Structure 1
Amino acid sequence: MLNTVHALSLEPLYRRRVFQSSRKVDCHAQVANELSEHDLFWKGDDVDTVLFKAAIQQLQIFMLKYGAEVIVRPRLFNGFALVHMTLSGSAEIESDGRKVCIPQGHTALIAPKRNLRLWWQAGSEQLILKVPLALFEELRAAGQSAPLELPSVLLLPPQAAPYWDLLIQSLLRVLALPEQGQGQGQGEWVRHFERSAVQFLLSQLTSTVEPVTSPSGAQRGASQCADSLVGAGKLQRLDMLERYIRSRLCAPLALADLAGAAGVSVRTLNALCHQQYGVAPMDLLRNIRLDAVRERLLTHPGANVTDTAFEFGFGHLGRFSAYYRERFGELPKQTRGMLR
């Protein structure tokens, strides 16, 4: 079924098909029921959705294909993280403002704190591992390491891919075991494979996320300044920036204003925002304002689109509509129409 760079044998998973459909409403409802509540925006009519699912012990593993190009905006995860492997095609993930591309053969850990947006290329197929946060914490505590703080999105480095594939293949082979054989000995063996996979993810948390673009020589100095702000210091600067933006959603703001609010230079702020969010500071400002517009339209059925755009700092309606559609996959009036 799959044309994939991964040398994975997915036959045990293929014996556990949840559904297959070409009806958009059915596809949305089924995936929401199995994975997470979400908004789903179709960018074509070539719908051929298929979902496979298997539970191991604490982990769940899925294979999902939509057929058409889609934009997915899930609700915040409740007590779990996802590991997203692109088997064919390409995907893009924007989690808490940080954007990464996951081409075929790559894997990312996703644990959003504020918002999440996924784009899947038409025909792409994804293997998804659902991991309880409690299992991460259990293994972290057993290793007596510092308190766990999962990143919003972590792209596994290419050198980790062969080891991760071996771990996933071990989990897939577990699915082929006869259920009646789940005695104490075999149960401990299965538990070992689950914990090994999650322990490997924990080991990667100290790895550097692959940059979306390689920094030029002129950017390295600012990146080094941003790197000097580590741990709580870096997060404090970014929290100061976000609070400043959210308190001035309708005010005209310049790049120098944002840098001053964060207490850093413009160059350092630019590097910080690219490291943490995957976008420039002014793009971050625009995205936060767009999110505020969408929240208003979704929670206030009578809200006027033009008035709302002006209220949150968008003075040019044409550009506002283009930005909104690029971020959410639909026009503002379509968002408001969802409530009718």
Structure 2
Amino acid sequence: MQNISQSLSLAPLYRHRVFQSTRKVDCHAQVANELSEHDLFWKGDDVDTVLFKAAIRQLQIFMLKYGAEVIVRPRLFNGFALVHMTLSGTAEIEADGQKVCIPQGKTALIAPKRNLRLWWQAGSEQLILKVPMALFDELSAQGQSGPANMPSLFLLPEHAAPHWDLLIQSLLRVLALPGQNDGHTEWISHFERGAAQFLLSQLTSTYTAGPTAAGIAADESADGLIGAGKLQRLDMLEKYIRTRLCAPLALADLANAAGVSVRALNALCHQHHGVAPMDLLRNIRLDAARERLLTHPGANITDTAFEFGFGHLGRFSAYYRERFGELPKQTRGCTR
């Protein structure tokens, strides 16, 4: 069955092109002006940036494509959050120590407190919804529950994706109205509030659920760690992994490095990275291998796989393609 996100009708948005350019300086300046100040690092010269933007009432919708592979480091957002939806390709987002991969059809809410880094695969297209924090505050004042503090990074659950896709399609259809005059004002505001309310409801069910049996079990498995204590354990774990990228490591080794039980480590990794500890280990090794192939055009793929802990070349290639949307040889080919 086709994912709804693959069949979104973007025609109403495509009537509002801000710019299209193959010049890196122009692209950087235009996107910064429309979205947020940021540092932009290009990997390759295949620049074909296009930006579409449409304002509804309180919300703004963007479609952005760079063409080339890029790393973006935005400044902290001032009074807004972004909802990031990958239309094609793959993106990776790291906010305040949390990292998630966002392949085609996945959606994440981003509201960084300290730092943010985004990696976009070459040729990928991203649909971005800019939501003012004032709208979330307004809904909270009206009784819509939500977490006390907006999380830095929240990956929309799989079961919620079809409902979110339908909400986005409704917002896109609003753009097709002949004129957003007073006769449509309340109706349009209803769709905007509905989208924000849906996000708050997903945050509520994830972060503020009552003490159910599952919730109590999760608390126990986290060994009572809270706040900075969790981040410190995760930092210890990542430092341990990065100094042993080619070493054979077991789950018990990772738990010992973080100073927690295996059950607690599993809960922490799922909460902050969305994956199990051994999957996190593999992802960090894949990231390191990709960096090697990007920075060393002549690197041998087999040697690179072994250097970063992958003893089977076929599985390495399969994992690599699953994470980055291309084979290792394609990455190396782009750098030549």
TM-score, structure 2 as length reference: 0.66
SS of equivalent residue, structure 1 residue 6: helix
**Which position in structure 2 is the counterpart of 1:83?**
83
**Which position in structure 2 is the counterpart of 1:72?**
72
Identify which of 230, 235, 245 aligns with 2:227. 235
Task: Report the aligned-residue RMSD.
Answer: 3.2
CA spacing shift, 1:4–1:124, aligned 2, 3 Å: farther
Aligned partners of 1:41 and 1:71 also within 8 Å: yes
Q: Superposition pairs for residues 142-221 of structure 1, below 5 Å?
A: 142-143=142-143, 145=145, 148-179=148-179, 181-183=180-182, 185-208=183-206
CA spacing shift, 1:48–1:143, aligned 2, 3 Å: same
Question: Counterparts of 2:60 and 2:197 in 1: how far apart (Å)?
Answer: 16
Question: Counterparts of 2:39 and 2:109 in 1: how far apart (Å)?
Answer: 21
Cα deviation code 1:259-314 (max 9, x no counterpart)? 4xxxxx3646644652454397xx9xxx9xxxxxxxxxxxxxxxxxxxxxxxxxxx
CA spacing shift, 1:95–1:146, aligned 2, 3 Å: closer
**Which position in structure 2 is the counterpart of 1:101?**
101
Identify which of 265, 274, 281 aligns with 2:269. 274
Aligned partners of 1:6 and 1:165 also within 8 Å: no
Residue 20 in structure 1 maps to residue 15 in structure 2:
no
Question: Counterparts of 2:264 and 2:222 in 1: how far apart (Å)?
Answer: 11
Question: Counterparts of 2:96 and 2:77 in 1: how far apart (Å)?
Answer: 13
Question: Counterparts of 1:39 and 1:57 in 2: how far apart (Å)?
Answer: 29
SS of equivalent residue, structure 2 residue 227: helix
Q: CA deviation at 1:257?
A: 9.0
Where structure 1 has 5 or more consecutive residues not aligned to the other structure, the ranges are 210-221, 245-253, 260-264, 288-340
Aligned partners of 2:146 and 2:203 also within 8 Å: no
CA spacing shift, 1:243–1:270, aligned 2, 3 Å: closer
SS of equivalent residue, structure 2 residue 226: helix
**Which position in structure 2 is the counterpart of 1:119?**
119
Q: CA deviation at 1:176?
A: 1.2
Q: CA deviation at 1:161?
A: 1.5
**Which position in structure 2 is the counterpart of 1:139?**
139
TM-score, structure 1 as length reference: 0.66
Cα deviation code 1:94-153 (max 9, x no counterpart)? 111111111101111111111111111110000000001111111122125366311111
Q: Superposition pairs for residues 277-296 of structure 1, below 5 Å?
A: 277-278=272-273
SS of equivalent residue, structure 2 residue 7: coil
Aligned partners of 1:223 and 1:268 also within 8 Å: no
Deviates more, 1:32-41 or 1:158-167: 158-167
SS of equivalent residue, structure 2 residue 6: coil
Aligned partners of 2:73 and 2:118 also within 8 Å: yes
Identity of aligned residues (%): 69
Letter in 2 for 1:85: M
Question: Counterparts of 1:99 and 1:70 in 2: how far apart (Å)?
Answer: 17
Number of aligned positions between the proteins = 252
Q: CA deviation at 1:234?
A: 1.6
CA spacing shift, 1:202–1:269, aligned 2, 3 Å: same
SS of equivalent residue, structure 1 residue 126: strand
Letter in 2 for 1:60: Q
Aligned partners of 2:79 and 2:134 also within 8 Å: yes
Question: Counterparts of 1:160 and 1:256 in 2: how far apart (Å)?
Answer: 35
Cα deviation code 1:2-54 (max 9, x no counterpart)? x9952211111101000000011111111011101111111111110000001
CA spacing shift, 1:226–1:134, aligned 2, 3 Å: farther
CA spacing shift, 1:256–1:104, aligned 2, 3 Å: closer
Aligned partners of 2:145 and 2:204 also within 8 Å: no
Q: Superposition pairs for residues 46-65 of structure 1, below 5 Å?
A: 46-65=46-65
Question: Counterparts of 1:176 and 1:163 in 2: how far apart (Å)?
Answer: 21
Where structure 2 has 5 or more consecutive residues not aligned to the other structure, the ranges are 208-216, 237-253, 285-336
Question: Counterparts of 1:57 and 1:42 in 2: how far apart (Å)?
Answer: 33
Question: Counterparts of 2:159 and 2:268 in 1: how far apart (Å)?
Answer: 26
Aligned partners of 1:98 and 1:276 also within 8 Å: no
Question: Counterparts of 2:200 and 2:176 in 1: how far apart (Å)?
Answer: 27
Question: Counterparts of 2:267 and 2:88 in 1: how far apart (Å)?
Answer: 32
